[in-house]
A and B are shown apart, each in its own frame.
Chain A
Amino acid sequence: MIVIGGGIVGCAVLDRLARRNVSVLMLEGGDDVAVGASRANSGIVHAGYDCEPGTLKARFNVRGNAMIWQLAEELGVPALKCGSLVAAPVGGEEGIALLKRKADLNGVRAEVLSREQALEIEPMLADGVQSALYAPDAGVVSPYQLAIALADRAVLNGAEIVTDAPVVSLKKEGGLFVAGTPQGEFAAKLVVNCAGARASEVNALVGAETFETEFRKGEYYVLDHTERERVSTVIFPLPTAAGKGILVAPTADGNVIYGPTSSPAEEDDTSVTAEGLEEIRRNVPLTYSSPAYNKCIRVYCGVRTIVGHDFIVRPSERVEGLIVTAGICSPGLTSAPAIAEYVEELAGRYLPLANKADAVIRPPRTPRLAELSEEELNALVKKDKRWGRIVCRCEKVTEAEIVAAVHSPLPARTVDAVKRRVRVGMGRCQGGFCSTRVMEIISEELGIPMREIRKGAGHSEIALLAVKEADYEEV
């Protein structure tokens, strides 16, 4: 089988199929998995109270929420079931009651709270908040770390991942699909389209149904760890037709985010705008009393793909053997494990699937410095000095962790790929001190010359020229 696209859905699908007795391959257009919407979203594990009852979104959200905590635990991915609050102003009682009714219909635990009750859970609610809906089963997870960990486990279980391999042609000949990429052609009996923003385009390549696709960008502020203690839960405003609104949330890695905006955009326009940031600054104080933009360490933007009102997860109506996932916007992260479970069920209709004997469930994991007791740390340093050498001072990442990331099942070959795996450069100095050292480690470990070390995708080399090599006339 071929899985097209290495976002959170593709990775979750690959991980499940890799544990069955089939050979699976992932084709990813980017330089790494989780480089599209899965890298830049809110990282929220939604409870599922605001999906329209009866939709795929409701079904997969609720099921996904039930699966994701254990999945994160198995894979050692940071996650936190911190609960969520929808914080409503005066006059918002009706909106809260409507959400509560949907929660009941979807089978989601939720409780209507007075201002006083809500303040006990979240002391920093804004003055204007009068009532709230509390959902104890909501929380946060690191979306890209989850996708990467799923991809890594899939590789350990025998899956193959080909990066820099956007699918440019897809044919079905004599019962076999043939996918053409710059990395060569790949054949399979079944194809799962998890191409995210490009799902409709990939379907079109093989003559399957296409969808009206809409893109909306979401911009965010990331705050320093020092803000984490002020935020206990995910704080939403009342949802509107435009979406769930601008939230304030802890991240699974101990930061705080404000965002997202929601404005129409081109597919790959992940630029942050002054207007978007302004909109966040206008909205955050409506629910949260303690905004601290001076503690901002990063702004980012992700683009979500929207296809109608619901997810599309189904066998293609036109092409036998093609399973399509499309329009996986919010709550896509939460839903991914459930979507993968359903995709596996669909795949089982075409191919007999049996469990592989001794599939890896809990992959060996490189611990983080903060998780280690002093005895454990000293034992590691004794074996390998690199455990005693901190490269990223802000996030306290040791050389040993970086080397492990570079040699992980899906190797990290760029500065950003290392960053997504072990958080080096994600702190308050944003890599100012450690990026050069990270480049050196990648260079030494993988034998890539410094000049060819890239920040991320494409031609994003950092060391453009050697000193004294520049020709003034030329530049």
Chain B
Amino acid sequence: MKKFDVLVIGGGPAGMAAAIAADAKGASVLLVERDVRLGGILNQCIHAGFGLHYFGEELTGPEYADRFEKRLAKTGVKVMLGAMALSLGGDGEVLLLSPEEGAVHVKAGATVLAMGCRERTAGAIALAGTRPAGIYTAGMAQKMCNIEGYLVGKRIVILGSGDIGLIMARRMTLEGAHVERVIELMPYSGGLKRNIVQCLEDFGIPIDYSHTVTRVVGKPRMEGLYYAPVDENRRPVLSEEKFIPCDCLLLSVGLIPENDILNGSGVKLSRVTSGAEVDENRMTSLPGVFSCGNVLHVHDLVDNVSHEAEIAGSAAAEYALHGAPPTNGELHAVTPGKGVRYALPQVIHGGSGSVEVFFRTDNVYKNCKVVAECAGRTLYSKKRMIVAPGEMEKIALKKEDLDGDVTVRLEI
């Protein structure tokens, strides 16, 4: 049994920032990472666009990770690589497996979950047709290309317009493959506007909104696919089905927080985010267990992940060293209203200080107003030219202003 004040599971951007923040509060910290190096998915994100908010400059993924690795090296955080957390007990005890030490039990005063997310697969969307070589998630294609140095296709179609799909449309094009088109089920992109512009428009790659892939053909290698527009119920209009010859389909159809370790732990999960429900300190319903980054909810900017992880890491250290923070005993729920898919944190303790509430909208809205209300009073109200599901929004609230549950909604 090893004992630490804070255990951080996951050594990507969230885990590193959480560990550094916990260390700064004077906690003894163990950071475990299953890969052989720190950085998580940033290692394969060799494109630029990271750090504009956090560092005020544009970095690549590996550069962004490197900044945190260097900071981490100056702390007392103990890092364990190649180690995977197998289970999380109700008492907060974690079982790890590592090649160097075998099975290890770790008991920490607080645990920070920072395991990131995984991609939805062809199976998850019940993709019809054959199951040949040539169908991959965009992230796997990215790893094959940027880490291993191989292309998984020559003529490529991308289903879904999540950020990784858009980034891979550009990457595969730059590497010499031909990206036929991007096909998106929804009438809008799931990714950032800047990626639509920089990765598709700049390269003349067409995107078909309100379309989907109806079936894949070819065996053992993919030979092409059929796609069609969808009606208002998102069902394909088969009379308008078209064929595209291609040897590769990349999927960018959503990311899911990788919370499997929480099965049976008693931590309450949100049905919308698939992450834990948390308070403003990013503490879950299991006292002493914190969550941050993409394992909590999927972010579009790593800068936000780092900020959120710092909140969780500091709070975890405080919890481990001094117990639960003082509150005035009040607990206010934060609920999504009209036009809002989810808001996070899901609860805010009464007290003083500022709280940032993150939220995502359920559609693209132009010239709308973001409103936060509490017991009939308006806490926040501001016009937005445009909001979209692919771009996370945030607003700042003051705890002093809260005297009841908070609703975040749009006035459309």
Could you tell me which A residues sit within 8 Å of B by CB distance? 221-222, 226, 268, 270-274, 277, 293, 296-300, 369, 374, 377-378, 381-382, 385-390, 393-394, 396, 428-433, 435-436, 440, 450-451, 454-472, 475
Asked if residues A388 and B82 are in contact (CB atoms below 8 Å), the reply is yes
Complex alpha-carbon distance, A468 and B101, angstroms: 40
Given A431-B140, A460-B133, A296:B260 Cβ within 8 A: no
Complex alpha-carbon distance, A271 and B137, angstroms: 20
| Residue with the greatest number of chain B CB neighbours at <10 A, chosen from A277, A293, A436 | A436
| Residue of A with least CB distance to B144 | A436
| Any A CB within 8 A of the CB of B181 | no
Contact with A436, one of B121, B130, B143 (Cβ below 8 angstroms): B143
Of B67-75, B212-220, B369-377, B387-395, the one touching chain A: B212-220
CB neighbours of B102 from chain A (8 A): 377-378, 381-382, 387-388
CB neighbours of A429 from chain B (8 A): 118-119, 121
New A-B pairs, 20, CB < 8 Å, besides A274-B214, A462-B150, A465-B176? A226-B263, A271-B130, A272-B126, A272-B128, A297-B123, A369-B97, A381-B101, A386-B99, A431-B140, A432-B121, A432-B140, A436-B144, A436-B147, A440-B148, A455-B220, A460-B221, A461-B133, A463-B150, A465-B150, A470-B151
Asked if residues A464 and B220 are in contact (CB atoms below 8 Å), the reply is no
| Any A CB within 8 A of the CB of B286 | no
Contact with A460, one of B119, B175, B178, B220 (Cβ below 8 angstroms): B220
| Residue with the greatest number of chain B CB neighbours at <10 A, chosen from A299, A377, A429 | A429
Q: In the complex, what's the smallest C-beta–C-beta distance from B178 to chain A, in angstroms?
A: 5
| Any A CB within 8 A of the CB of B127 | yes
| Any A CB within 8 A of the CB of B247 | yes
Asked if residues B221 and A458 are in contact (CB atoms below 8 Å), the reply is yes
Complex alpha-carbon distance, A457 and B175, angstroms: 27
Count A/B pairs, Cβ under 8 Å: 171
Asked if residues B219 and A272 are in contact (CB atoms below 8 Å), the reply is no
| Any A CB within 8 A of the CB of B86 | yes
Given A460-B133, A464-B247, A377:B260 Cβ within 8 A: no
Complex alpha-carbon distance, A341 and B272, angstroms: 54
Asked if residues B103 and A378 are in contact (CB atoms below 8 Å), the reply is yes
Contact with B97, one of A270, A293, A377, A432 (Cβ below 8 angstroms): A377
Given A300-B131, A388-B97, A430-B122, A472:B178 Cβ within 8 A: yes
Asked if residues B215 and A299 are in contact (CB atoms below 8 Å), the reply is no
| Residue of A with least CB distance to B41 | A433
CB neighbours of B152 from chain A (8 A): 462-464
CB neighbours of A451 from chain B (8 A): 150
Q: In the complex, what's the smallest C-beta–C-beta distance from B185 to chain A, in angstroms?
A: 14
| Residue of B with least CB distance to A473 | B176
| Any A CB within 8 A of the CB of B62 | no
Asked if residues A467 and B147 are in contact (CB atoms below 8 Å), the reply is no
Contact with B175, one of A297, A440, A468 (Cβ below 8 angstroms): A468
Contact with A390, one of B84, B148, B217, B219 (Cβ below 8 angstroms): B84
| Any A CB within 8 A of the CB of B385 | no
Within residues 85 to 102 of chain B, which ones have a CB less than 8 A from any CB in chain A?
86, 97-102
| Any A CB within 8 A of the CB of B145 | yes
Asked if residues A450 and B123 are in contact (CB atoms below 8 Å), the reply is no
Asked if residues A273 and B215 are in contact (CB atoms below 8 Å), the reply is yes
CB neighbours of B128 from chain A (8 A): 271-274, 277, 299
Q: In the complex, what's the smallest C-beta–C-beta distance from B224 to chain A, in angstroms?
A: 13
CB neighbours of A381 from chain B (8 A): 97, 99, 101-103
Within residues 388 to 410 of chain B, which ones have a CB less than 8 A from any CB in chain A?
none
Q: In the complex, what's the smallest C-beta–C-beta distance from B255 to chain A, in angstroms?
A: 11
Q: List 30 A-B contacts (CB under 8 A).
A: A226-B263, A272-B127, A273-B215, A277-B126, A277-B128, A293-B126, A296-B124, A297-B124, A381-B99, A382-B102, A388-B102, A390-B97, A428-B260, A431-B140, A432-B121, A433-B118, A435-B136, A440-B148, A454-B133, A454-B220, A459-B133, A460-B132, A460-B133, A462-B152, A463-B144, A463-B151, A466-B149, A467-B150, A467-B151, A470-B176
CB neighbours of A457 from chain B (8 A): 220
CB neighbours of B126 from chain A (8 A): 221, 272, 277, 293, 296, 299
| Residue of B with least CB distance to A298 | B123
CB neighbours of A393 from chain B (8 A): 34, 84
| Any A CB within 8 A of the CB of B177 | yes
| Residue with the greatest number of chain B CB neighbours at <10 A, chosen from A222, A296, A390 | A390
Asked if residues B220 and A271 are in contact (CB atoms below 8 Å), the reply is no
